[in-house]
Structure 1
Amino acid sequence: MPKRLSVIAMGAALAALAHPSASAQQVASLLDLSLEQLANIEVTTFSKRAQRLADVPGSVYVISSEDIRRSGAVSLPEVLRLAPNLQVARADANQYAITARGLNTVLANKMLVQIDGRTVYSPLFSGVFWEEHDLMLEDIERIEVLSGSGGTLYGSNAVHGVINIISKPALDTQGALVSGTVGSNERNLAARYGSRTDSGTPFRLYAKRTQRDAFSLTSGASVRDAASHTRAGFRADHSDGARALTLQGDAYQADIDQGATTRRLQGMKLAGRWTQDLGDNGRTEVHAYFDRTVREQPGSIHDQIDTFDLEFQHAFTPRRGHQLVWGAGYRWQHDKAQNIAPASLAFLPADKRLDLANVFAQDEISITDTLKFTLGGKLEHNVYTGTEFLPNARLAWNITPSHLLWGAVSRTVRAPSRVDREFFSPGTAPFNIAGGPRFDSEVVRVIEAGFRAQPTSAITYSATIFHHDFSKLRSLDAMPGGATLNNNLEGRLYGLEAWGTWRVTDNWKLNASTVHLRERFSALPGTAPINALASLGNDPRSRWALGTSYDFGGGHEIDLQARHIGRLSNPVVPAYTAVDARWGWHASPGVQLSLALRNLGRARHVEWGPPATRAEVERSVLLKATWRL
């Protein structure tokens, strides 16, 4: 694998020498976009219809394809560090803790993640196994990150927000692309080919292979978590103007060292989306997908989850001053857990059918030309707690065309997962830990207020204050003979998230962000959960980031990003500051070379975990070559 990647990199370098240097006019750049154009970027996550980012009455950050390219990141979790409203901590070579607004763990369960409309959280624990999603980053059009409740449109589990990953249409990926990365601790090779069928339908095929070396513990011993990941897929888009049909799918396999054994992850999906433009701001959409994931974890479980999901939505203008979107959905899941180590753990029953049905509606009402009120609600039925009601209300005031003030209140839940109800350790009685047969949904009520502005043509910024009030949080309570899972924790968190951009010159851009968080949690009166506060997560009280991008002549560019993450308290993880640097060169219209230096400063630092099993994130170097034809 390293040999093949070296050949790709050398070939790209030779091709670059054979062509004259590209001028600034020959290459696309993030800095080619004015701030006005960036503010006019259309997003769909917030209201399930296209609207200008500048008009969104919520805390939304957009990572563009150009941001991804210039970050030097080679994995999806590392790309998500670009979103200031996300908290990202690396636990080892493959695992990450990712969330927004606190309660972070490697099994974080309060963020909903979608990839082209496909929900990717696991019903085992209501979170995301990030090591399964080694996407081809060159195919991502943008990532929209909503922090704050998204329950009305996205359902339970969108407690702290939504990460919506949107890939490029097949029409935008025509021709051939090969990219290779050689680094000090990882290597990858990706290839894509896009063309048209005889009938003129654009399509693309792609494949990617990644290898990662094992991390080391603070003691110097190897974590023994080296990994290899292979993924291949396709996408086709057919459109006749008013109607459009998209069909896409992929398959993957990952082998991750787990000490002396190997954890294997496999999966495949097939998804289709049909849209109909009805005119006069009307649109219908039907989205369906089938997904199979298989997780073979020696010493614990062999789990297969089959998912079929069908969703319908209709957006239209029922009368002047209203923008209404409504829809319904049904998800069928079959989880088949083969409990291969019942002496340590088991899911009982091993097989479980999980049905989820919903109906929702949301209306944006123009009270005046500058004042808009949004009211929405969702009814969602799950197999554990029955029907949940997820409402929200928002008020937005365009003080001027470039200044938006907004406020919101909402209620959402995290519905029980299989861990909450059906996890047992050991797998036969008497149990040391038992799922709670009456475990209820965790509930959060959210109050937010925000301000988004572009005071000059060179400056734009956003700031949001928030307050989350939690009840019925998961707890582990001592019982005669063992412990059981209950809902005996409560509390609140509040904070500020803010970010801004300043275009100093046409070639030079600066960005900055900061997040401050305060949390207060406690047990219900008369209860004494085990290790209560540590079970909720581990969050810094503050974090900040600074970045700059500069375009030189001759197709050269440089990017610097610095981030500071405050101290984690339970367990204690020291605060750290990391700097990433990238130099890029558009050697010719079809060849790009880059050199990325990651985690500059200290040779190594830790981001997550208790001292005995804490992995160190090391300084690394990545050389990348991309060839387009």
Structure 2
Amino acid sequence: MPTHLATPRSQILRRLAFLTFAPFLALPTRALAADSADAVEAAYLADLPVVLSATRLQQARADTPGSVTVIDRHMIRAAGVRNIHELFLLVPGFQVGMHTGNRPLVTYHGLSDEAPRRMLVQVDGRSVYSPYFIAGVEWNQLGVDIDDIERIEVFRGSNSAAYGSNAFLGVANIITRAPFETHGGSVRYRAGDGGVNDVAVRVGRRLGEVDLRLTAARNQDNGFAGINDWRKAELATLRADWAIDHNHVLEFQAGWTNNDLGTGKDDNATDPERSSRVTTSFGLLRWRHVPAPDEEVSVTWYHQEENGHDRYGLSVPVPPRQSGLPVTIAIPFDFDYGFRAVRDDLEIQRITSPAAGLRAVLGAGMREDRLTAPLRFNSAQQVRSGVNRAFANLEWRASPHWLFNAGFMVEHNSLTGTSLAPRASANYHMTESQTLRFSVNRSHRSPIAFEQKSSMIFTNSAPVVTPVMTIPAGTPISQTFRPSPGLRAERVTTYEIGYLAELRPLHVSFDARLFLERARDLIEMRLERSTVGLVPRDNTRYFANSGEADIRGLEAVATWRPTTGTWLTVQHTELRIDGPGNPATASGAQPSAWVANSAPRHSSALFGAWEFLPRWQVSVARRWVGGMSWYSDTDHRVGAYRQLDIQLSHRLPAELLRGEVSLTARNIDGDEETFAPGASWWGSRIFGTLQVEF
């Protein structure tokens, strides 16, 4: 333990930080602090171990078994983003796009389509990996306001050993601010072109031994030009931390989101322009007992529900060549894409130090998902799936130079059976400031219920009378998805060599990661001819373990950060992906090398901020991204693009008003395609933000 933590005051500060944020560490800062406070905070941040996402243990970055990118609150504010998913533009190896103006796409190292599902995202330990349809993370339903985030820890690489299935290619832990930091009130208003009209209100109080924070927010915009993709996203969240005594803490969180979205196309007979709605509610309860340093027992339970509303009626003309009848007939449909998804998750975890130089975390948990989506599963019955898990991670400091991490996760999934995800790594501390890392791990992703059990059969909502026959109501007309029994879990084996230099006297760090990721049994969407229904289809979809990919490359990040408000980060990623696959737009008998183009071969970024005068800051983000394809090798090809974002912000004088005003310009170097040519575009956006605290 560093000697500066030996003083009673430092021990108290460390204990408070640990109690407040465990199992996720979030260090106390103030967003609008003065320069002198920032300097003190910089020293505090530099000395404490600040990474937890790697093994569930608090660790210095030099001790983790993989590369971790930390986006703290100062960086979030300087980035000038309205939406959380945009922050992943700051992380090497990530691809960020928009299917439409209200459907974000975020993936790591490619292998994705319009519904990325190979990365795990958590908010304070609550998984937001959706259990329904195809998508992995529903970014519009995270249930956290961007100003309530303390930091985001992104583990770049597979991590099923610590977090189980779905931590297939990476893990992002979104850590919110402790309520004791947000006493008082805050109002934020943002307006700009494209219909940007956002407002947020936060209130924090202390009632006895309980710290509370209540946040309400609404983000609204018109989406992309020429597309029905407007959105109005609303949320309300509550967090309460109760320090029962010096080593017991009870944390409660609750939240609600409502998203009204424009969807559909103006020239599509079965997918017309319309509005849809998705609501989410959740509750989380966590008890922690910390009897001594490096000792903790925690129990976490959360419950969440998601409800989708998207229903409309249409009469669809079917020509003779499709129906086989002598005349064109109009078939009435009642399209109801509504769903209800309920999740309960319970986990117990213990952190202990059994001997000198040894630290361990042990735990077990269970999760159950219950889905009701009659159209997607061709049944009004609930579709249930469950996961039971047990995990352990051990850190052994064998000598001043060598540190070893080992861990595993055993999961039993009701859909795919039992799987084991092991990991081992060795960190060699060449000097106090330089570390070499060697690691290998196996991760997996279990298929979600839709991939295995989907059965979308459309029936007519009323009888259809023709000259030759009458089609009764409820007759199967066509099938778009059929079940895919026997799907296995995807698996990936990762080999990594890393180098980390932290030159604190120079305020410089350098992180490099050389990796090989061998992905096998990838679940891909395939096509076949279906004879189900009056109108047979040649493109009925199903899923199969037909994909494989070898991903190799290099990620390098260099950062100079003399203060919390001034920094410069330069990063570069080289990726090569090899392996056959089958895109949804091709016949299952015609393999295509689409995986090779599912991520750009080259991408670079620069992100910097400069406090050039007291209370004044300018920040710039510049990205160079190579061409790629989100799915099909041709239909969804996106060319190389550049993106430039600039923000100017000013902290208001405290004697006038405590707050900040900023002007942000996003993507000011021109429109760029983000998913499919001619379908969706990055547009330049300029907006102003006023935030006042009291």
TM-score, reference length from structure 1: 0.89
Matches within 5 A, 1:65-104: 65-104=73-112
Which residue is 1:550 aligned to?
610
Counterpart pick for 2:619 among 549, 559, 566: 559
CA contact (8 A) 1:377 1:392 kept: yes
Counterpart pick for 2:491 among 443, 447, 452: 443
How far is the alpha carbon of 1:608 from its aligned partner?
A: 1.4
Which residue is 1:158 aligned to?
167
CA distance 1:476–1:101, change in 2 (3 Å): closer
For residues 92 and 410 of structure 2, the distance between their equivalents in structure 1, rounded to whole angstroms, comes to 31
For residues 434 and 501 of structure 2, the distance between their equivalents in structure 1, rounded to whole angstroms, comes to 4
How far is the alpha carbon of 1:90 from its aligned partner?
A: 2.4
Superposed CA deviations along residues 480-525 of structure 1, whole A, max 9, x for unmatched, are 645542112222111111111124799753210011110011159x
Q: SS of the counterpart of 1:426?
A: strand
CA distance 1:531–1:422, change in 2 (3 Å): farther
* Paired residue type of 2:651: H
Q: SS of the counterpart of 1:171?
A: helix
Matches within 5 A, 1:12-51: 26=34, 34=42, 37-38=45-46, 40=48, 42-51=50-59
How far is the alpha carbon of 1:432 from its aligned partner?
A: 5.3
Which residue is 2:672 aligned to?
605
For residues 497 and 203 of structure 1, the distance between their equivalents in structure 2, rounded to whole angstroms, comes to 40
Structure 2 residue 260 is matched with structure 1 residue 247:
no
For residues 523 and 253 of structure 1, the distance between their equivalents in structure 2, rounded to whole angstroms, comes to 37
How far is the alpha carbon of 1:416 from its aligned partner?
A: 1.1
Structure 2 residue 337 is matched with structure 1 residue 301:
yes
Counterpart pick for 1:452 among 486, 495, 500: 500
Superposed CA deviations along residues 224-245 of structure 1, whole A, max 9, x for unmatched, are 1111111112111111221111
Moved more, 256-265 or 390-399: 256-265
How far is the alpha carbon of 1:290 from its aligned partner?
A: 0.7
Which residue is 1:135 aligned to?
144
CA contact (8 A) 1:308 1:333 kept: yes
* Structure 2 unmatched ranges of 5 or more: 1-31, 265-272, 312-334, 459-475, 531-539
Matches within 5 A, 1:337-348: 337-339=373-375, 346-347=377-378
Matches within 5 A, 1:467-478: 467-477=516-526
CA distance 1:37–1:203, change in 2 (3 Å): closer
Moved more, 135-144 or 473-482: 473-482
* Paired residue type of 2:688: L
Superposed CA deviations along residues 386-427 of structure 1, whole A, max 9, x for unmatched, are 111111111111111111111111111110112221123435
Larger radius of gyration: 2
How far is the alpha carbon of 1:349 from its aligned partner?
A: 7.2
CA contact (8 A) 1:477 1:529 kept: no
How far is the alpha carbon of 1:163 from its aligned partner?
A: 0.7
How far is the alpha carbon of 1:458 from its aligned partner?
A: 2.8
Structure 2 residue 517 is matched with structure 1 residue 461:
no
Which residue is 1:584 aligned to?
649
Matches within 5 A, 1:464-543: 464-477=513-526, 481=530, 484-503=542-561, 508-522=566-580, 528-529=588-589, 532-534=592-594, 538-543=598-603
For residues 341 and 103 of structure 2, the distance between their equivalents in structure 1, rounded to whole angstroms, comes to 20
Which residue is 1:229 aligned to?
233
Matches within 5 A, 1:99-498: 99-124=107-132, 125=134, 127-133=136-142, 135-185=144-194, 186-197=196-207, 199-216=208-225, 222-239=226-243, 240-259=245-264, 260-298=273-311, 299-339=335-375, 346-347=377-378, 350-427=381-458, 431=479, 433-455=481-503, 457-477=506-526, 481=530, 484-498=542-556
Superposed CA deviations along residues 432-488 of structure 1, whole A, max 9, x for unmatched, are 542311111111111111011024523211000111112111234455645542112
CA distance 1:316–1:351, change in 2 (3 Å): same
* Paired residue type of 2:366: Y
How far is the alpha carbon of 1:61 from its aligned partner?
A: 0.3
Q: SS of the counterpart of 1:494?
A: strand
User: Cα RMSD (Å) of the superposition?
Assistant: 2.4
* Paired residue type of 1:100: Y
For residues 372 and 506 of structure 1, the distance between their equivalents in structure 2, rounded to whole angstroms, comes to 30
Which residue is 1:6 aligned to?
none
* Structure 1 unmatched ranges of 5 or more: 1-23, 217-221, 340-344
Which residue is 2:664 aligned to?
596
Moved more, 310-319 or 87-96: 87-96
For residues 65 and 299 of structure 2, the distance between their equivalents in structure 1, rounded to whole angstroms, comes to 26
For residues 141 and 326 of structure 1, the distance between their equivalents in structure 2, rounded to whole angstroms, comes to 26
For residues 548 and 531 of structure 1, the distance between their equivalents in structure 2, rounded to whole angstroms, comes to 43
CA contact (8 A) 2:577 2:595 kept: no
Moved more, 86-95 or 399-408: 86-95
CA distance 1:247–1:113, change in 2 (3 Å): same
* Paired residue type of 2:285: G
For residues 592 and 44 of structure 2, the distance between their equivalents in structure 1, rounded to whole angstroms, comes to 48
CA contact (8 A) 1:151 1:413 kept: yes
CA contact (8 A) 1:35 1:457 kept: no
CA contact (8 A) 2:372 2:380 kept: no
Superposed CA deviations along residues 183-220 of structure 1, whole A, max 9, x for unmatched, are 112121000110111x231101110011111312xxxx
CA contact (8 A) 1:61 1:85 kept: no
CA contact (8 A) 2:299 2:346 kept: yes
Superposed CA deviations along residues 597-622 of structure 1, whole A, max 9, x for unmatched, are 110112x111212x35x211111111
